[in-house]
Structure 1
Amino acid sequence: MNEKILSIKAYADLLRTRQWYKNLVVFLAIFFSGSMFSWEAWQQTIIAFFVLSWVSSAGYIINDLQDRREDQHHPERRTRPLAAGKISPTAALFTAFLLLGAAAWISWGMNGFFAGIVGAFFALSVVYTFFLKRIIFADILTIATLFVFRAVAGAATISVFISPWLILVPFFLALFLAAGKRHSELYLLDEKAAATKKVLQEYTQELARSLMIISTTLLIFSYALYSFLSEHTLLIITLPLALYTIFRFYGFICAHSPIARQQEKIFKDPAFLIGMILWILAAAVIIYAL
């Protein structure tokens, strides 16, 4: 029984299910388009969430296959199933093909536009794994672009207008998170940074901090403009709550918390959760009740 549990845990780690939260971005379209009370829209969006999660997992597997030798020298990533030898490369590759096959079949059955976005999402993930993640600036810009694909996929699956704000806000949010992760990795690894991730030899903590400041400023500015210019102008009063959640995460980065590198851990922070829940509730009342 213990062996089965360990095997299930190893495969969950291989798929990085803890990072599926990134695909919650697909729900932005249903929320801000006023479609929350459409059961059909919910069905389509939930399916889109799982499709993107499977494709993301396939991308993570390919990435870990490519990096497994480097990961063995990383203080945190050496416990990944492929780096630790818990799962064979053959089994991992077979799992990736299964996930991709299921995702392709389901996405094509939804609509061609959504299927195209999913295909582009996976293609960019692969290009990132083999090329772009080794190029300074291109690495974090690619990560941010993948977030945009997630947001646009949410709009495509329920056939609603793709607002420019649906592109800008997720892009700058992801850019901020990626820059924060680079800053934290440089602090953790110090002189060993280049040995575990080649692109880190091109970054400095000062550069990463500057990128954080720029992306945070653009994120706040984009959300503030969206709030003011949208048909729901009262959204501007949610700005303090949005700022609180951003500043809370920024504080963890500056404090060199592991949360900056393992960003799913932010959801265990009660203060962050309260701020986010209050922001969602306030935005929901403004969009759906006022």
Structure 2
Amino acid sequence: MSKVSDKAEKAGIVDKIKGYVRLARPKQWIKNLFVFAALIFAKHVFDVDYFTKVLLAFLCFCMISACVYIINDVVDAEKDRLHPKKKLRPIASGMISKTEALVFLAVLLPVAVTFAFMLDTSFALVLLLYFANNILYSIKVKHMVILDVMSIALGFLLRVIGGALVIKVYISPWILLCTLLLSLFLGFSKRRNELVVLENGANSHRKILKEYSLEFIDNMLSIVTACTVMAYSLYTFMSSNENYYMMLTIPYVLYGIFRYQYIIYQKKEGGSPEETVLSDLPLMINIILWALTSIIILYVE
């Protein structure tokens, strides 16, 4: 009996650990890769000191993102139980209690902030601004039409800015503009997926969805898509004085956007950008090829 109970206890501990890992949502950390944008475009990828600092900045964003996800899951636990996928989250499913989640938050948040200040003060302030933006989003902004998506976009911008500040390099305004537009595209795509998946129950899960309609979101997506392609194209035209090879990366951007639209319109997915990228092989290959091509063009004179 003791062996059986010991096995059951060990299994319970393993399940609890898995619950904490899922609570931190490591799959969504892929969004923190935007921190590396400044490193790549400032041509310091192969500089060990610069790369190490940005890698540590990436880890800081992963920890602070986990804190944000914990808070969101605690606040939205009841609503998540009404969602076909979100009901499986640790708190909504009962795997982790709200008290356990808050204790985890109380440990992780100070570690993330302290580590960030040890890395760079300016970067730490951006990290805190990112955290404050997400808290404000959870409390108020997520109930404000259009501003809710713009708040999500601000989070992506802060990642790029943080990555630039930690290594003290200049970041092109074109990169910031492209990041803003791309993140708006992902944000509106997420809202569209929620409307399609939840259908008549959309309002009960997220009140802000009653302010959106498929027609309205499709119009926003059309505008943002066109602006994203134009902004990126203009960036490639002006990236170097006499080096226009970055124009060769435009087809990757076009395919990536078109492929993502195919996913949200034909496959009825796109509610989670990170899961969409990781689960769609053509899209993932396209992103990798874009990154490799960009690095070759930028670093090989």
Same fold judged by TM-score > 0.5? yes
The residue that corresponds to 1:43 in the other structure is: 52
Cα deviation 1:219-262 (Å, max 9, x = unaligned): 1111111111111421011101121111111110111433x012
Given the alignment, which residue of 164, 182, 185 partners 2:191? 182
Q: Distance in 1 between matches of 2:14 and 2:299?
A: 44
Q: Distance in 2 between matches of 1:167 and 1:34?
A: 17
Structure 1 stretches of at least 4 aligned residues deviating more than 6 Å after TM superposition: none
Q: Distance in 2 between matches of 1:189 and 1:273?
A: 27
Root-mean-square deviation (CA, aligned residues, Å) is 1.2
The residue that corresponds to 1:228 in the other structure is: 237
Bigger Rg over Cα: 2
The residue that corresponds to 1:244 in the other structure is: 255
How far has the Cα of 1:15 moved from its partner? 0.8
The residue that corresponds to 2:135 in the other structure is: 126
Q: Distance in 1 between matches of 2:56 and 2:194?
A: 34
Q: Which of 219-228 and 21-30 deviates more?
A: 219-228
Q: Distance in 1 between matches of 2:53 and 2:252?
A: 29
- Contact kept, 8 Å, 1:72 with 1:84, in 2: the verdict is yes
Q: Distance in 1 between matches of 2:235 and 2:56?
A: 28
The residue that corresponds to 1:148 in the other structure is: 157
Q: Distance in 1 between matches of 2:198 and 2:236?
A: 40
Q: Distance in 2 between matches of 1:267 and 1:32?
A: 24
How far has the Cα of 1:173 moved from its partner? 0.9
The residue that corresponds to 2:206 in the other structure is: 197
- Name the aligned partner's letter for residue 148 of structure 1: L
**Is 1:277 aligned with 2:288?**
yes
The residue that corresponds to 2:273 in the other structure is: 263
- Name the aligned partner's letter for residue 212 of structure 1: L
Q: Distance in 2 between matches of 1:104 and 1:137?
A: 30
How far has the Cα of 1:264 moved from its partner? 2.2
Q: TM-score scaled to structure 2, two decimals? A: 0.93
Q: Distance in 2 between matches of 1:100 and 1:219?
A: 34
- Name the aligned partner's letter for residue 287 of structure 2: M
**Is 1:94 aligned with 2:103?**
yes
Q: 3-state SS of the aligned residue for 1:102? A: helix
| Structure 1 unpaired stretches of 5+ | none
The residue that corresponds to 2:67 in the other structure is: 58
Q: 3-state SS of the aligned residue for 1:13? A: helix
How far has the Cα of 1:170 moved from its partner? 1.2
Q: Distance in 2 between matches of 1:103 and 1:5?
A: 25
How far has the Cα of 1:184 moved from its partner? 1.0
Q: Distance in 2 between matches of 1:247 and 1:12?
A: 33
**Is 1:171 aligned with 2:180?**
yes
Cα deviation 1:114-152 (Å, max 9, x = unaligned): 011001000111000000001110110000011000010
Identity between Structure 1 and Structure 2 (%):
34
Q: Which of 2-11 and 269-278 deviates more?
A: 2-11
Cα deviation 1:252-282 (Å, max 9, x = unaligned): 0111433x01222322322112212221121
Q: TM-score scaled to structure 1, two decimals? A: 0.96
- Contact kept, 8 Å, 1:184 with 1:256, in 2: the verdict is no
Q: Distance in 2 between matches of 1:66 and 1:273?
A: 32
Q: Distance in 1 between matches of 2:81 and 2:283?
A: 33
- Name the aligned partner's letter for residue 261 of structure 1: G
| Structure 2 unpaired stretches of 5+ | 1-9
Q: Distance in 2 between matches of 1:138 and 1:130?
A: 13
**Is 1:84 aligned with 2:87?**
no
**Is 1:14 aligned with 2:55?**
no
Q: Distance in 1 between matches of 2:200 and 2:267?
A: 16
Q: Which of 121-130 and 260-269 deviates more?
A: 260-269
